[in-house]
Amino acid sequence: MKKIILGLASIALVFGLIGSVGAINTASKKDQKKKFSLPENAVEVSHGVFYLGESMNKGEVVEGYAFVHYAKSTAKSKPVWDDTVDIYKFMRGGLKWANTIQYKINPSYIGGLDQNDVEITLNASLEIWDSEISFEFFDSITTTTETSVGFDGTNIVIWGYLGSSGTIAQNTIWFNRRTKEIVESDVVFNTHYIWSAVENCPDNAMDLQNIATHEFGHNGLGDLYMPKSVELTMHGYSDYGETKKQDLGTGDVSGIQELYGN
Ligand SMILES: [Zn+2]
C-alpha cells in the first residue's frame, strides 16, 4: 500500500512538473520573458558600469564589466550641440579586440521581431563601425542555440528581460587583464520595450539599429554622459523612437580609429 501511494505521489509530482514547465515554456515563447540579471556580487564602479569579477581563460585572468544603457527622455531638451563634437572615451583605460568579432543571435529570442529583419539591422549596425577602420572589425551575424551571457566563448546578441526600471540594453565585456584584449562581448536587449527594425521607428518603440550601433561601440568605446555628447552614438542615454545613433558622429569615428586604425 505504501508503495502504491508513493507511486501515485510521484506520478502527481511528475505531472505537476510537466504542467508547470509547459506553462513556463508557453509564457517565455509568447512574452520573450527570459530573464537576465547582473550577478549579486556585481559592483557599480561608475555610472552604468558594473564590475562582474574574474574568470580564467587559457591560464590568464580575465575581468568582466557590464555596460548598461538607460532610457532618458530628451523631448524637453533643446540641444545646442551637434554630432561634430569630437569627444570619446576608452573603456577601462583602453580595451580592444585582437581578432575579428563574430556575433551570434538565437532565433528563439529575438524580441518578437522577424529573424531576417534582425540580421539585416544588426549587420548594418556592425558595418557602420567596420567601414571607418582598416581593421576587419566584425563578421556578419550568424545563429546559435545558446542563451548564455556568461563568459563562454560565444559573443551572443539576445533579447531577455532586464527589468522595468529603465535599462534598454547591456553589453557585457570580458577582457584579458594583462594584455587588455577583449575576449568576449554579450549584448542583451530588454524585452520590457517594444523593438522596431523598420525604417520609421514608432514613438512607442526602441529602434534596434539605433541601440545596436551604440552597443557595438562598446567593443572599445565607453559611454559619454556630458551634455555636449548628446548627439553622438556613444552618448549613454537613448529614448523612444530615437534614430540619431544609427550614424556615427565625429567623436565616435575619432575614437574607434584611434583604437583600430583608419
Ligand atoms: Zn553604453
**How far is ligand 1, taken at its centre, from the CA of residue 15, in Å?**
45
Give me ligand 1 centre to Cα 62, in Å.
21
Model pTM score? 0.86
What is the domain class of 43-260 according to CATH? alpha beta
> Separation of 224 CA from ligand 1 center, angstroms?
8
Cα 14 to ligand 1 centre (Å): 45
Q: How many residues does this entry show for the chain?
A: 262
CA of 1 to the centre of ligand 1 (A): 63
What is d(CA 202, CA 216) in angstroms, rounded to the nearest whole number? 23
Ligand 1 center–CA 233 separation, angstroms: 9
Ligand 1 center to 7 CA (angstroms): 54
Contact residues for 127 (Cβ-Cβ < 8 A; gap 6+) = 138
Q: Report the alpha-carbon distance of residue 204 to residue 166 in Å, rounded.
A: 14
What is the distance in A from the centroid of ligand 1 to the CA of 57? 25
Over residues 199-208, the mean pLDDT reads 95
pLDDT in tens, 131-171: 999 999 999 999 999 999 989 999 999 999 999 999 999 99
Dump pLDDT digits (tens) for 204-244: 999 999 999 999 999 999 999 999 999 999 999 999 999 99
Ligand 1 midpoint to CA 68 (Å): 6
> What are the sequence ranges of the domains in the chain?
43-260
Closest of 56, 157, 54, 180 to residue 110, by C-alpha:
157
Report CA(193)–ligand 1 centroid distance (Å): 17
Q: Is 90 a residue whose pLDDT tops 90? A: yes
